[in-house]
Amino acid sequence: MRLGEIITAGVLALLSIYMMFKSTELNIGYVRGEGPGGGFWPFWLSALMLISTGWIAFNWYRRTSPPSQSDEPVLDEYGWKMLFLVGGSILVFVGLIPVISMYGAIAVFLIYYLKFLGRHSWPLTLVLAIGLPIGFFFFFEGVMRITMPKGLSFTEPFFNVLYDIIY
């Protein structure tokens, strides 16, 4: 944790410097007749972020914050495994949306999570994994008129059937 604390502060300091740098693309000072320039607000706030990271590093040096006193690892074996299985599945879920559509990706994600992580029965898994995307389809496309990504062209026949029901 102690090493992690200072690395996190360092990453945030780099982010602050990058945002200060990006802010300078617009005027960061006072423009007569126009008020503060477009870069003024984000530049000085990023500078304040940088000062805060310095303060966090100082507290780390003095060992006053709880993480800077702790010798335990940032994440144990369970933590990394959980991050890989759950966090990784969310990444795959989002990555599948442009390929098999929002609704298809929801179905695949639910099957993975409910059956393989949750170890629920097939009937429950299939009811939720098929029923929920169809319910969402009618709610978003039919009622709210919000179009979700439909994926590649091979999904068209499925959606044509559903659109026939709406229209």
Partner 1 sequence: MDILGHLADGMLLSIQPLNLLLITIGVTVGLFIGAMPGLGSVNGVAILLPVTFLVPPGSAIIFLAAIYYGAMYGGAISSVTLGIPGASTAVATTFDGRPLALQGRAGLALVCAAIASFIGGTVANILFTLFAPLLASVALSFGPPEIFALMLLAFATFVGLGGDDIPKTILSICMGLVFAAVGFDQVSGAPRLILFNINGFLHGINFLVLAIGVYGIGEMLWTIYSTRGEITSTKAEISAAQIGRDAKECMQRGWKGTTIGSLLGFFVGVLPAAGATPGSLMSYGVTKMLSKNPKEFGKGHPAGVCAPEAANNSASTGAMLPMLTLGIPGSPTTAVLLGGMVIWGLTPGPRLFVEQSDFVWGLIGSFYVSNLAAVIINLAFIPLFIWMLRMPFTVLAPLIFVLSVIGGYAAMRDMHDLWLMVAFGAGAFFLRRFDYPLAPAVLAIVLGPIAEPTLRQSLLLSSGDPTIFVTRPVAGPITVIAIVLILLPALKFFRKGKPAPAE
Helical ranges in the chain per DSSP H: 2-23, 40-62, 66-69, 77-82, 88-111, 122-137, 156-166
53 binding partner 1? (CB under 8 A) = yes
Of the residues 3, 14, 61, 83, which one makes contact with partner 1 according to CB under 8 A: 83
66 binding partner 1? (CB under 8 A) = yes
Contacts 24+ apart (CB under 8 A), 99-102: 99/151, 99/152, 100/151, 100/152, 100/155, 101/148, 101/149, 101/150, 101/151, 101/155, 101/159, 102/136, 102/148, 102/149, 102/150, 102/151
Pick the closest to residue 132 from 117, 116, 114 (CA basis).
Answer: 114
Q: What are phi and psi of 30, to 5 degrees?
A: -95, 130
130 binding partner 1? (CB under 8 A) = no
91 binding partner 1? (CB under 8 A) = yes
67 binding partner 1? (CB under 8 A) = yes
Q: To the nearest whole angstrom, how small is the minimum distance from the Cβ of residue 161 to partner 1?
A: 21
Rank residues 124 and 166 by Cβ distance to partner 1 and give the closer one: 124
What does the binding site for partner 1 look like in residue numbers (CB under 8 A)? 1, 4-5, 8, 12, 18-19, 22-23, 25-26, 30, 34-36, 38-42, 45-46, 48-49, 52-53, 55-56, 59, 64-67, 69, 74-75, 78-79, 82-83, 86-87, 90-91, 93-94, 97-98, 102, 106, 109-110, 113-114, 117-120, 124, 128, 132, 136, 140, 144-149
